[in-house]
Chains A and B, each alone.
Chain A
């Protein structure tokens, strides 16, 4: 089992590091493109127009929603770090520790909240005309894996709690 844990730990580290680098690259590209678009818009904008117009509101909404999407992606990557702590606990023999149950529950929380939030944010992005929204496409990409995985992790948290209770009962018997 130790070999499998080591391999899984290495793969998880690889996924976390590559996901972080992809996220940072996307943020840098977004920031760069947004700044270029903002400069072009500022050059062509009519200075006498009032600041609070629907065009400004749409621009800022797009920026805020995109920033929120980046935040949720980062939060999802943070969720994977709990996976590493579970593997570490199992490696040292603390199979049914409270830490593992809490980590499973936390991963479940992160996966389900990410799926729900990203669905809402992408719908909002489509409603301000900056993207297209196809529920079945979103379902295929985000919801197919994340929601069942999130639920599975909640169930694992419960199972590990029961296993811990059994273990404690066993340890207390003489």
Chain B
């Protein structure tokens, strides 16, 4: 499948770009948690404006960075699945299990990342920001559920394939 090769190439490019940014992100994460030189400086993280860079904003920043790292891990798992598809192992148990894991990662990340930011704005800043249409929370939820359903459907396909192979 030519389209599979193109998709694998695009995903590999995204993966390489993400991998290069991980050391910087980890260094920044450690710096923000343990260093206080940014205290007092206003900062905007994921659309939330912090007037004081205190432990709450550090927690939110750490939460956003960890969410990003989990998404990079999900991308890594997706690359592995595409490699299985390239080897023609379409309904392999590993691919089925990994699709489910990717779905769970997307769902959990969407709730943690967007949910915590929404609660912070509601409780501390006394403001509510509702976004209609396609935003990152909705996209991640849709992708998460879709991957989980795909995993179930692939399980059925695998069962059919095995049944077919066992018949003489």
Residues of B close to A166: CB separation below 8 A = 157, 160-161, 164
Asked if A152 and B7 make an inter-chain contact with CB atoms under 8 angstroms apart, the answer reads yes
| Residues of B in contact, count (CB < 8 Å) | 32
- A61 contacts B by Cβ under 8 Å: no
CB-based contact A148/B11 at 8 Å: yes
Residues of B within 8 A of A152 (CB): 7
Contacting residues of chain B (105-144) with chain A, CB-CB under 8 angstroms: 132-134, 138-139, 141-142
A residues near B11, Cβ cutoff 8 Å: 148
Across-interface contacts of A167 in B (CB, < 8 A): 157, 160
Instruction: Specify which of B3, B10, B153, B164 is in contact with A95 (CB 8 Å cutoff).
Output: B153
Q: Are B152 and A1 neighbours in the complex by a CB distance under 8 Å?
A: yes
Q: How far is the CB of B136 from chain A (nearest CB, A)?
A: 10
Q: Is A169's CB within 8 Å of the partner chain B?
A: yes
CA distance A169 to B163 in the complex (A): 10
- Could you give 11 example pairs across A and B, Cβ below 8 Å? A15-B138, A90-B153, A144-B14, A148-B10, A148-B14, A155-B1, A155-B7, A156-B150, A163-B157, A166-B160, A166-B161
**Chain A residues with CB under 8 A of B164:** 166, 169-170, 173
Residues on the B chain within 8 Å of A15, using CB: 133-134, 138, 142
Q: Which residue of B lies closest to A8 (CB)?
A: B145
- Inter-subunit contact B139/A1 (CB<8 Å): no
Interface on chain B toward A: helix, strand, loop, or mixed SS?
A: helix
* Cβ of A57 under 8 Å from chain B: no
Residues of B within 8 A of A155 (CB): 1, 3-4, 7, 85
Binding site for A on B (CB under 8 A): 1, 3-4, 6-7, 10-11, 14, 85, 90-91, 132-134, 138-139, 141-142, 145-146, 148-150, 152-153, 156-157, 160-161, 163-164, 167
Within 8 Å CB of A87, what residues of B? 149
| Residues from chain B with Cβ under 8 Å of A169 in the complex | 164
Give CA–CA (A19, B14) in the complex, Å.
28
A158 neighbours in B (Cβ, 8 Å): 1, 3
Take A148-B7, A155-B1, A163-B160 as given contacts and tell me if A11 and B141 are in contact as well, using a CB distance cutoff of 8 Å. Answer: yes
- The A1-28 residues at the B interface (CB cut-off 8 A) are 1, 4-5, 7-8, 11-12, 14-15, 18-19, 21-22
Q: Which A-chain residue is minimally distant from B132 (CB atoms)?
A: A18
- CB of A59 within 8 A of chain B? no
Taking CB atoms, residues of chain A closer than 8 Å to B161 are 163, 166
A64 interfacial contact with B, CB 8 Å: no
